[in-house]
Chain A
């Protein structure tokens, strides 16, 4: 597609449940990023993929969070045993590489009740 697509756009889940958030980057973009934006804050880095591998996962808050990109295109962010504090907008971005800039998706708004 023309842009970065994220699904679902909204997700409400109960505390303790497992969720998966999907990101479909711009075709051909090798770099993919996940960010999390909590209310009143700027986006915070979670993880960066270069191709299929996670080149930097230093932003993942704890081991309940995991992300994959098995074929170097679509990525899935997985959150186990969700907590109310996980409620945020999860943003995905892709890039053709250094110096090419990011394109962000519209995000998935996750609400844990």
Chain B
């Protein structure tokens, strides 16, 4: 039972354009969402997060949008740079108190120079 879904396993975007990565979740009780970025042979690194009391959070080139009614969130990267090529995971905290994360399956983003 996949509670967090990333339906696009891969995405290719031209350098300088906008990258949009999508994530859907099933449990309306989730109320904190995170995006992680992972390079090969490294652990995931935190990118940006959003609480359910907001519908948008921005940090530099990265913006996360949350649509609670659709149980959907997206990560926008603009402008995309070659160093953004990585696997991106969305995640949600499923149990506040121990902050156990539930991850999606990931989207591999490739930025084409």
B interface majority secondary structure: loop
| Interface: B83 (CB within 8 A) | no
Q: Which of A31, A91, A107 contacts B99 (CB 8 A)?
A: A31
Shortest Cβ distance from residue A11 to the other chain B in the assembled complex, whole angstroms = 14
Interface size class of A (residues with CB under 8 A): 20 to 34
- Asked if B44 and A43 sit within 8 Å, CB to CB, the answer is yes
| A-B CB contacts (within 8 Å), total count | 56
- Interface pair A105/B43, CB less than 8 Å apart: yes
| B-to-A contact residues, CB < 8 Å | 4, 6, 9, 41-46, 89, 91, 95-106
23 residue pairs of the A-B complex, CB under 8 angstroms, read A31-B98, A31-B99, A33-B100, A40-B9, A41-B105, A42-B6, A42-B104, A43-B44, A43-B89, A43-B103, A48-B98, A50-B98, A55-B98, A56-B98, A59-B100, A93-B43, A98-B97, A101-B46, A102-B46, A104-B44, A105-B43, A107-B41, A107-B43
Chain A residues proximal to chain B, CB less than 8 Å: 4, 9, 31, 33, 35, 40-45, 48, 50, 55-56, 59, 91, 93, 95, 98, 101-107
Task: Give the 6 A-B residue pairs with the shortest CB-CB distance, closest first.
Answer: A104-B43, A42-B103, A43-B103, A48-B98, A45-B100, A42-B105
